Amino acid sequence: MTLGNKIRSRREELGLTQVELAERTKLTQGYISRVEGDAFTPKATTLMVLAFALDLAPNAFLKEERRVS
């Protein structure tokens, strides 16, 4: 799952729109859209702001999922 997918999934899980998340984070809706679309990767400080707004631990988006083969 990509970073953008993780953010979108958590936002939707909380029942938030991109506009509402933007208001919580003081970012723009366009920025949230680009992050969720994996157009670019935000800086670590912005990831912390997003994690806080989504009620997650600061390192929540940095954890990699392990695949079992």
17 domain-assigned = yes
Can you give the pLDDT at residue 20? Answer: 98
Q: Domain of 28?
A: 3-53
Query: What would the two tokens of residue 29 be?
Result: 């809706």
How far apart, in whole angstroms, are the C-alpha atoms of residue 69 and residue 18?
A: 36
Global confidence as pTM: 0.85
Q: Which of 22, 64, 38 is nearest to 54 (CA)?
A: 22
DSSP string, 4-36: HHHHHHHHHHTT--HHHHHHHHT--HHHHHHHH
Domain of 36, CATH number, reads: 1.10.260.40
State pLDDT tens for residues 13-44. 999 999 999 999 999 999 999 999 999 989 99
Residues 46 and 27 sit within 8 Å (Cβ to Cβ): yes
pLDDT in tens, 42-69: 999 999 999 999 999 988 877 665 455 5
